[in-house]
Structure 1
Amino acid sequence: MGFDFELILAIAFLVTGVFWVYDRIVYFPKRKAVLANMAPETRSAINKDAQQRLAETPKFVVEVKSYFIIIAVIFGLRSFVVEPFQIPSGSMLPTLKIGDFILVNKFDYGLRLPVLNTTIIPTTVPERGDVVVFKYPRDPSLNYIKRLVGLPGDKVSYHDKILTVNGQKISKEFLAKLPVSLNPDQEPVELFKENLSGVQHNIYNSFRFTPHEGDWVVPEGHYFVMGDNRDNSADSRFWGFVPDENMKGRAFYVWLHWDDFFSIPSIKNNGLIE
């Protein structure tokens, strides 16, 4: 099982919220009454900590409820506006590198309930070519990132490193052959610029056998995704389709790159994700 930070944050929001409401109902009126009986000059000189003691508010209530506002702000932003992620693997090379920190638009695919991910306010729908973050269908506690290739009803084929969608071969332009020294996967690859329904982006193809070729028809309510590092990506070719309810948002910006703890963070590659 992965570390489900979204679920942990939701639990923290609920727990601190309960304590905040409990304090407002039980102890806030007591503090208000104590202050009302004081002279104005005395009241103005008493700080919040002293007010808590005057109303005999339990220390653990004070401590827990004090985190509610900041957790509520973080929870709201991550759930409905934008969420940060770090790229853990090379499956999206050369578009995204291991150690890239990205931002994901949570509102693009509809306003969704946290944890449950159920759409409550529809906005737009995922489009072919989007770089999407989603809950891994086989373990929803894990977040995956891939490029959306097939929409509901699409016929997707991948043979001999050629991608075909609905009978149309997706064009790709050869750019360069990269030697091992320049390739983080430690194998020579060819760099191409692919045009996926008007979305132009770079991809890698290796020289070895194409893994898991096949033909697929995308079911309604599902999507077919692939990594830009086409021969080094565990994606829909291996484990199937992504249900719409697993979609979390569209990745749109790289804001930091940090290889490891002992390296120096870099912002030289910051920019919009193609």
Structure 2
Amino acid sequence: MAGYFAIFLVLLTLACGLIWLLDKFVLAPKRQQQLVMAQSAAGGQLSLEASETVLKEPQLIETAKSIFPVIALITIFRSFIYEPFQIPSGSMMPTLLVGDFILVEKFSYDVKDPVWRKTLYSNNTPQRGDVAVFKYPEQPTVDYIKRVIGLPGDRVIYRNKQLYIEKACTAAEQTDCGKLEAVAITLKNEGEFFQELYPQRRYTEQLADVAHDILQTPAKREHMEFFFKQNDTAIDEFIVPADHYFVLGDNRDNSRDGRFWGFVPADNMVGKAVFIWMSFEFNDDPNSWIPGWVPTGIRFERLGAIH
């Protein structure tokens, strides 16, 4: 089921629409009848001010009719075309930073109704390398954002901070499938980012046709004791079930992702993150008089397409 705001938006749209219809076909004709009766009682000479008083819409109806087109357009746009999201954590650094505001393309995947999330139109499926927003499997009212790593049937291994993928052989994937291969990474720098007090290494990872940057923290060990345990596999091995996807955060040592809770059902997919339309920076100095939630600047250089 959708989040509370989506349900509220749909209910508000329906309520305003029903009030508009009730007024158009029931209440407005009654006001016209009352005007005719008032004019007849006044001998056909009813003042303009009195006529406007008889025809005046109640405040509720006037408000509902004025906001209905706007609310309807917002609901349609947000439910089926694009939805804005704010990045609340650093799990997708360096691709996405805290304070980034992004647009998620809803029609990139199956088009679903905004309340019950039942598929209305089957469109494209998530692809390896997509930055995808989905309903968190352990709490479906919460939206998560991660990168799609494993497709249905893939075998994925994350061992010693190195990612390996054995692509499933399907009708669409006949080449480079059926063999386990390390995903290529190239070191860019070290010390640009930190996790706690530990310097992080920034790599460019080549995932299928998608080149993107990831972060690793060499000083942080992998907490494999908390990894999701799948039957008949090693602790760091994941075989993606049918109609599911395996996802990871780009900040590999600071992300609660599929390694810890398993797989994302296809029905949980919301859309593909495609664009950063605003990016605020915040003050992280604990001694500053400025609250941490108050923006201190705009990162214009971050605006643009997401890779």
TM-score by length of 1: 0.87
Structure 2 matches for 1:242-257, cutoff 5 A? 242-257=264-279
Is structure 2 residue 222 aligned with structure 1 residue 183? no
Candidates 171, 177, 181, aligned match of 1:168: 181
Q: Deviations over 1:11-43 (max 9, x none)?
A: 2122222212212221233466789999xxxxx
Structure 1 equivalent of residue 176 of structure 2: none
What code does the residue aligned with 2:278 have? L
| Residue aligning to 2:159 | 159
Paired position in structure 2 for 1:230: 252
Deviation digits for residues 214-269 of structure 1, max 9, x if unmatched?
Answer: 11111111111000000100001111111111111000111111234242333221
Identical counterparts, % of pairs: 40
Q: Which runs of 5+ in 1 are unaligned?
A: 39-44
- Equivalence for 2:11: 11
Q: 2:261 aligns with which of 239, 248, 273?
A: 239
Partner of 2:296: 263
Structure 1 range deviating more: 75-84 or 109-118: 109-118
Among 196, 211, 230, the alignment partner of 1:200 is 211
Once the two structures are superposed, residues 114-134 of structure 1 have per-residue CA deviations (whole angstroms, 9 ceiling, x without a partner) of: 122222111211100000001
Runs of 4+ in 1 over 6 A off after TM superposition: 32-38
Contact between 1:255 and 1:267, CA under 8 Å: does it hold in 2?
no
Name the structure 2 match of 1:41. none
Counterpart position of 1:211: 223
Would the aligned equivalents of 1:104 and 1:253 in 2 still touch at CA under 8 Å? yes
Contact 2:195 2:217 in 1 (8 A): no
Alignment partners' CA distance in 2, 1:241 and 1:262? 35
Number of equivalences: 261
**d(CA) in 2 for partners of 1:11 and 1:32?**
30
In 2, the alpha carbon distance for the partners of 1:16 and 1:164 equals 52
Alpha-carbon distance in 2 for matches of 1:152, 1:23 = 51
5+ long unaligned stretches in structure 2: 40-47, 167-179, 225-234, 282-292
SS in structure 2 opposite 1:96? coil
2:106 maps to: 106
* Whole-angstrom CA distance in 1 between matches of 2:16 and 2:185: 52
Q: Within 2, Cα distance between the matches of 1:26 and 1:84?
A: 38
Q: TM-score, normalised by structure 2?
A: 0.78
What's the C-alpha RMSD, in Å, of the aligned pairs? 2.5
Corresponding residue SS for 2:24? helix
Superposed, which structure 2 residues align to 1:108-147 within 5 Å? 108-147=108-147
Question: What is the Cα deviation at residue 178 of structure 1?
Answer: 1.4
CA contact under 8 A between 1:117 and 1:248: conserved in structure 2? no
